Structure 1
Amino acid sequence: MAKSTNKPAKKCCSIDEEIHKPAVNISDDDHGHSDDDGHGHSHDLGDQSKVQLFAPAVISFLLLMIGISLDYYFKPEWFTDNLRLIFYIIAYMPVGLPVLKEAVTSIKQGDVFSEFFLMGIATIGAFAIGEYPEGVAVMLFYAIGEIFQTLAVTRAKTNIKKLLDQRPDEATIIVDGNQLLKKAKDIAIGEVVQLKSGEKLAIDGILLSETASFNTAALTGESTPTTFKKGEMVLAGMINSQTVSLIESTTAFEDTKLSRILQMVQEASSKKAPTELFIRKFAKIYTPIVVFLALAICLLPYFFVDEYIFRDWLYRALIFLVISCPCALVISIPLGYFGGIGAASRNGILFKGSVFLDVMASIGLVVTDKTGTMTEGVFKVQNIESVGISEEDLIKYTAAIEHKSTHPIGAAIIEYAKGSETNVEVSEVEEIAGHGLIGRVDGRNIAVGNTKLLDKLNISYDKQIGESAFTIIAVAIDNKYAGHVLIADQIKTDAALTVAELKKLGVRTVMLSGDKDAVVQAVAKELKIEESYGDLLPEHKVEKMEGLKSPNLKIAFVGDGVNDAPVVALADAGIAMGGLGSDATIETADIVIQNDQPYKIVTAIKIGKKTKQIVWQNISMAFLVKAVVLILGAGGLATMWEAVFADVGVALLAILNAMRIQNSKF
């Protein structure tokens, strides 16, 4: 249940503090969750909290409407002088007192020229010159702006929390054959957790059941269930899709991959984009300047204007102060970046800071590894050519022999055969180092290996098969060539689309790999990557990266984030693929793609561009509107109502614009 509070909403000059509080505190309560953001606002505002949030503004609004009706419509004789002043002061207090308190607190902390101070001066000044309704209205609309700010920040935090904090509070463990309910945070390493269909896993562990299907959407953004086999790692936050499964815990609750990801999201906002840093510095310089300019507008005309009326020039100065508040900028810019981080998280992409949103928006070159990035990193049978024997018999005999091998290529053939070799008799299997295997299957002599094995056994074959860029497993039966099996690392289904979409975005793709050059060139040709290099050691990759760098070119490197650490260091943005599989990738990379889909690179660039676009829209809108109304206000052509629009109205528009990114589809 959401917590309630009587504390006033934080105002926009503290938006950076508000937004950059951890989106989720993973150790605040018994379950590792926290419903409060540290300012008295729950991430998921309940009905009571919403009433308390809106109540001051509603009360002031109703009293203001009554006051305006008495002033301009009913006009009773008793509603004058002191009684009128007291009524508007009462209307002012619900929204004004919290701001004035914050102003005093800020001054005590050494921050004199705060947003609270500006609004306090402007509204009290309006009362001083008898403009009571306008004084209340300015503070009221300011409070409404703060409500929208609070709702926007709360929504952004709630989206990330709902997305990521998927850990259940309790789990069922098996002890001596009995089922016991235990708090997730108390589950010890080595304990066996029973997970029923539809339940979320609380810890990381090894699957003990033969197979299990899990929905991994909370971690990878993928809604399609993934099937895991016995002995494979399953992670906290995954949802069991089918039968009851058993998992042996391998990590403590606070050390799960999901906890590490949550921690990373919490820390992400501390790495601010240059635009954010500039606006923060700008506001600190800008605010004192406008205060002194307001004083100048009020006092200097005394020396230059023949009929100087203090009240009129004070009113202009107050208008100038209201207009000049940097609320729209200070609110919307960090909120825009925070929304970008949230949108990326929803798509299974984790940015380690808003600075990398800016980097991805400007990427001109993506340098990618091959194995595990553009390819599956798993050997699979791609093609079978048989001579004088059926393909079924060829693969049956080959798999029967390969059962005696531990090589991953042999495992690929066995997986492809899917048990067809189980009804055969295998004997006299011998491994010839660097060549392959020979043996007898159902009484026939079988040789399985590379072309060197056939040469060694003086078996004739089509020499063209040795020219393939991929791995060829040649097969001879009774000393005669019987065909071959082509084995290759399978290209990911969305790899070609990724390269094509990057090209549409004006981003060039280069492939660097330690695999043999012929294989790299074949993969690059299929993916339509124009520049690729193989046979590269880590130091050679560094040399290639240095050759690709130029002053005006932003480069992203996509790989495993561990073996390619030197290359990642050279790149402007290091992107780790399938980061859930490795703690080191989470530590090393600037951006972590939680599944193995290369298309997420395109998504990350689009999110970066959209975030930057929205941020600059807000900056341009705020400066343009404020500049126009400032000039009109200084010239006496704008009233306090135009000033309210220039400050609070623009802030509201900026907030709504910044919130768009959270609803965008990429």
Structure 2
Amino acid sequence: MLFMGLSADWGVWIYRALTFLVISCPCALVISIPLSFFAGIGGASKEGVLVKGSNYLEILSQTKYVVFDKTGTMTKGVFEVNGIHHSTIENEKLLEYAAFAESASSHPISKSLQRAYGKEIDRSRVSDIQEISGNGVTAKVDGMEVAAGNDKLMKHLNIPYQDCHQTGTIIHMAINGKYAGHIVISDIIKPHSKAAIAELKKAGVERCVMLTGDAKKVANQVATSLGIDEVYSELLPADKVEKVEELLRVKLGKAKLAFVGDGINDAPVLSRADIGIAMGAMGSDAAIEAADIVLMDDDPIKIAKAIKISRKCLRIVYQNITMALVVKFACLALGAVGIANMYLAIFADVGVMILAVLNAIRCLFVKKL
């Protein structure tokens, strides 16, 4: 140190070096940052939102586009048969054929037909069940060829059909290649769906989009009542993937896109979106497996809550990083010129770590967000 004009007292410089070493220990960063994410995940789980990893919290905090499936997501997925029209056979018999044809499906519409039938289904009477994705099903019931599905299925089978003037999901029926009438089924919008859209707008989400395989009239009615910005109807599962990819291409900057769904058909879209959110109570196992976040009580208003939790968590993480770096660099400068002693060094290491950990614990308190 002589060439710098400084004293060659080894004891002083070794003390300064040890002080410098203690100050530079990154304990505050190494402990507080993962702990902030763990606390954020814990706080979210207390609110019924299961987050599968800390990286998903970071993505969720940047979400500006939210795309919804309709059935089972914005609606209860509890369908009720409201009418049977243009039936060429007895209404009860047409409903029986529909329930038997749909007996192998777990879709909410299929379940509603089985409930409306109200009797035990003898699966031995059904054979050759074939599900045509986005269209419906065909099967043999008591040796008769039965087709149950939307108008696309009728077009696919080249069977003329009758349009329905009522708003709802229309199940067209054909028996032995001839049109046999249609069944009108209506879904019920979840009580918090409209509030969920409003809360998302308050949370800074720029666009809310709904994708559904339902008829345009039904989709538009639901979207209008909920205040959704855009709606795309009569989509097959593959069409939903294409539409999400299209939205991913047009989104700006670091904005992220979340898809919210519940069915087995939603699994490819949940995987394709920046972040997938599944309904945990009524959702299919495939959707829950493919999703990054699961809403345990199927309440869509929890989506806005999850976004707020993620943003609070990230805000605390950045606070801890800033606090730790500012204190450490200030103490390092003081240590280099000999002003900082070992007590200040211990504060810069252990003290800042304790402060950062206490700050990270705030991520657990999310009740009032």
Bucket of the pairwise TM-score, normalised by the shorter protein:
0.7 to 0.9
Distance 1:313 1:505 in 2: 54
Compared CA separation, residues 580 and 536, structure 1 to 2 (3 A): closer
Work out the percentage of aligned pairs sharing the same amino acid.
52
Equivalent of residue 469 in structure 1, options 149, 155, 167: 167
Compared CA separation, residues 467 and 302, structure 1 to 2 (3 A): farther
1:341 is displaced (CA, Å) by 1.5
1:581 is displaced (CA, Å) by 5.0
Aligned to 1:633: 335
Aligned to 1:405: 95
Aligned to 2:39: 339
Alignment of 1:568-579 (within 5 A): 568-579=270-281
Q: SS at the partner of 2:70? A: coil
The one-letter amino acid paired with 1:491 is I
Whether the 8 Å contact between 2:49 and 2:306 is mirrored in structure 1 is: yes
Aligned to 2:49: 349
Equivalent of residue 490 in structure 1, options 176, 185, 188: 188
Whether the 8 Å contact between 1:336 and 1:658 is mirrored in structure 2 is: yes
1:381 is displaced (CA, Å) by 7.5
Alignment of 1:522-601 (within 5 A): 522-549=221-248, 550=251, 552=253, 553-560=255-262, 562-579=264-281, 582-601=284-303
Larger Rg: 1
The one-letter amino acid paired with 2:359 is N
Q: SS at the partner of 1:359? A: helix
Aligned to 1:159: none
Equivalent of residue 378 in structure 1, options 78, 89, 96: 78
Q: SS at the partner of 1:638? A: coil
Distance 1:538 1:486 in 2: 23
Distance 1:413 1:528 in 2: 35
- Residues 502-521 of structure 1 show CA distances to partners (whole Å, capped at 9, x for unaligned) of 11111121000111111111
Distance 2:37 2:26 in 1: 18
Distance 1:532 1:360 in 2: 22
Aligned to 1:221: none
1:402 is displaced (CA, Å) by 5.3
- Residues 619-638 of structure 1 show CA distances to partners (whole Å, capped at 9, x for unaligned) of 11100111111101111122
Alignment of 1:597-636 (within 5 A): 597-636=299-338
Compared CA separation, residues 434 and 571, structure 1 to 2 (3 A): closer
Whether the 8 Å contact between 1:379 and 1:412 is mirrored in structure 2 is: no
Distance 2:336 2:262 in 1: 58
The one-letter amino acid paired with 2:353 is A
Aligned to 2:68: 368
Distance 1:568 1:494 in 2: 22
Distance 1:356 1:543 in 2: 23
Aligned to 1:239: none
Whether the 8 Å contact between 2:278 and 2:287 is mirrored in structure 1 is: yes
RMSD, matched Cα:
3.0
Whether the 8 Å contact between 1:579 and 1:586 is mirrored in structure 2 is: no
Give the TM-score normalised by the residue count of structure 2: 0.72
Distance 1:316 1:511 in 2: 63
Whether the 8 Å contact between 2:63 and 2:257 is mirrored in structure 1 is: yes
Compared CA separation, residues 664 and 410, structure 1 to 2 (3 A): closer
The one-letter amino acid paired with 2:168 is F
Whether the 8 Å contact between 1:343 and 1:662 is mirrored in structure 2 is: yes
Compared CA separation, residues 592 and 570, structure 1 to 2 (3 A): same
The one-letter amino acid paired with 1:498 is A
Give the TM-score normalised by the residue count of structure 1: 0.41
Compared CA separation, residues 318 and 402, structure 1 to 2 (3 A): same
The one-letter amino acid paired with 1:405 is L
Aligned to 1:505: 203
1:312 is displaced (CA, Å) by 1.9
1:651 is displaced (CA, Å) by 0.3
Whether the 8 Å contact between 1:561 and 1:574 is mirrored in structure 2 is: no
Distance 2:34 2:186 in 1: 47
1:401 is displaced (CA, Å) by 6.5
Q: SS at the partner of 1:377? A: coil
1:309 is displaced (CA, Å) by 2.0
- Residues 158-213 of structure 1 show CA distances to partners (whole Å, capped at 9, x for unaligned) of xxxxxxxxxxxxxxxxxxxxxxxxxxxxxxxxxxxxxxxxxxxxxxxxxxxxxxxx
1:525 is displaced (CA, Å) by 0.1
Distance 1:467 1:530 in 2: 25
Aligned to 1:183: none
The one-letter amino acid paired with 2:336 is A
Aligned to 2:354: 652
Distance 2:48 2:217 in 1: 33
Compared CA separation, residues 539 and 339, structure 1 to 2 (3 A): same
Whether the 8 Å contact between 1:560 and 1:585 is mirrored in structure 2 is: yes
1:452 is displaced (CA, Å) by 5.8
- Residues 32-66 of structure 1 show CA distances to partners (whole Å, capped at 9, x for unaligned) of xxxxxxxxxxxxxxxxxxxxxxxxxxxxxxxxxxx
Q: SS at the partner of 2:167? A: coil
- Residues 305-346 of structure 1 show CA distances to partners (whole Å, capped at 9, x for unaligned) of 243322222222121111111000000011111111211222
The one-letter amino acid paired with 1:652 is I
How many residues were matched structurally? Answer: 294
Whether the 8 Å contact between 2:328 and 2:348 is mirrored in structure 1 is: yes
Whether the 8 Å contact between 1:326 and 1:647 is mirrored in structure 2 is: yes
1:410 is displaced (CA, Å) by 8.7
Alignment of 1:408-427 (within 5 A): 408=112, 411=115
Q: SS at the partner of 2:95? A: coil
Equivalent of residue 315 in structure 1, options 8, 12, 15: 15
Deviant stretches of 4+, over 4 Å: 400-404, 409-414
Distance 2:169 2:247 in 1: 31
Q: Does 2:220 align with 1:521? A: yes
- Residues 61-117 of structure 1 show CA distances to partners (whole Å, capped at 9, x for unaligned) of xxxxxxxxxxxxxxxxxxxxxxxxxxxxxxxxxxxxxxxxxxxxxxxxxxxxxxxxx
Whether the 8 Å contact between 1:371 and 1:377 is mirrored in structure 2 is: yes
Alignment of 1:29-68 (within 5 A): none
